[in-house]
């Protein structure tokens, strides 16, 4: 089983997270940020990731520290769970529709972390959630998972739909990129011999 557990404690957050890559999409999430709970539930379901997450954060300040630190911890867990990445497909991309929103997502589990996103939210808030925190989460996740992540809004006028499409698309791309190709089970998918 490709599993990982991460604990991250700072002066701003206290996070306990366990992840199973080859899961059933089951999750128990208490981040302290309601909208993020919703997005991570979608990510887990569409990625077939089993995710157990608890975060106590300084949300009385705002949600930034919790959102970013959860991205860091989840990225670390994903990277640890994949180990040497032997046999993985490595690449995945898709266009995911969420009502009027259409999101392009492309992933390379490259061993080099980077987020390149252009989601362009039409509003600054989704309820009480700052839409700029989607960028913060995605960047923290991609850098710590050591993968290259591209997200683009191709269409969409509803900020909730754009965010939901992005998290669902990421889940589906991660599921495909992390899946093992049986014919290449013992090979590292790189001419370098490592990822």
Mean pLDDT, residues 3-20: 98
Contact 164, 40 (CB under 8 A): no
Three state DSSP letters for 10-38: CCCEEEEEEEECCCCCCEEEECCCHHHHH
Chain-wide mean pLDDT for the chain? Answer: 97
* Main-chain dihedrals φ then ψ at residue 144, nearest 5 degrees: -80, -25
Contact 107, 91 (CB under 8 A): yes
pLDDT at 189 over 90: no
**Domain residue limits, the chain:** 3-184
**Domain 3-184 - what CATH class?**
alpha beta
For 157-185, write each residue's pLDDT tens digit: 999 999 999 999 999 999 999 999 998 98
pLDDT of residue 195: 86
pLDDT of residue 93: 98
Contact 139, 115 (CB under 8 A): yes
For 14-32, write each residue's pLDDT tens digit: 999 999 999 999 999 999 9
pLDDT at 94 over 90: yes
Global pTM value: 0.96
Enclosing H/E stretch for 2:
none
Q: Tell me the pLDDT band of 109, cut-offs 50, 70 and 90.
A: very high
Return the biggest CA–CA distance within the chain: 51
For 111-149, write each residue's pLDDT tens digit: 999 999 999 999 999 999 999 999 999 999 999 999 999
């Amino acid at each position: 089983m490709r599993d990982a557990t991460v604990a991250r404690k700072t002066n701003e957050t206290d996070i306990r997270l366990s992840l199973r890559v080859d899961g059933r999409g089951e999750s128990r999430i208490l981040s302290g940020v309601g909208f993020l709970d919703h997005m991570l539930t979608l990510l887990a379901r569409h990625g077939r990731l089993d995710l157990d997450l608890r975060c106590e954060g300084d949300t009385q300040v705002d949600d930034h520290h919790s959102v970013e630190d959860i991205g860091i911890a989840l990225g670390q867990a994903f990277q640890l769970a994949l180990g040497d990445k032997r046999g993985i497909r490595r690449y995945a991309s898709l266009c995911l529709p969420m009502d009027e929103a259409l999101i392009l997502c492309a992933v390379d589990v490259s061993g080099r972390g980077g987020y390149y996103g252009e989601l362009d939210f039409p509003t600054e808030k989704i309820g009480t959630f700052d839409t700029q925190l989607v960028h913060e989460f995605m960047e923290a996740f991609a850098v710590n998972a050591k993968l290259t992540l591209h997200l683009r809004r191709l269409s969409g006028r509803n900020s909730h739909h754009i965010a939901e499409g992005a998290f669902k698309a990421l889940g589906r791309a991660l599921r495909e990129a992390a899946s093992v190709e049986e014919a290449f089970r013992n090979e590292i998918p790189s001419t370098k011999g490592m990822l």
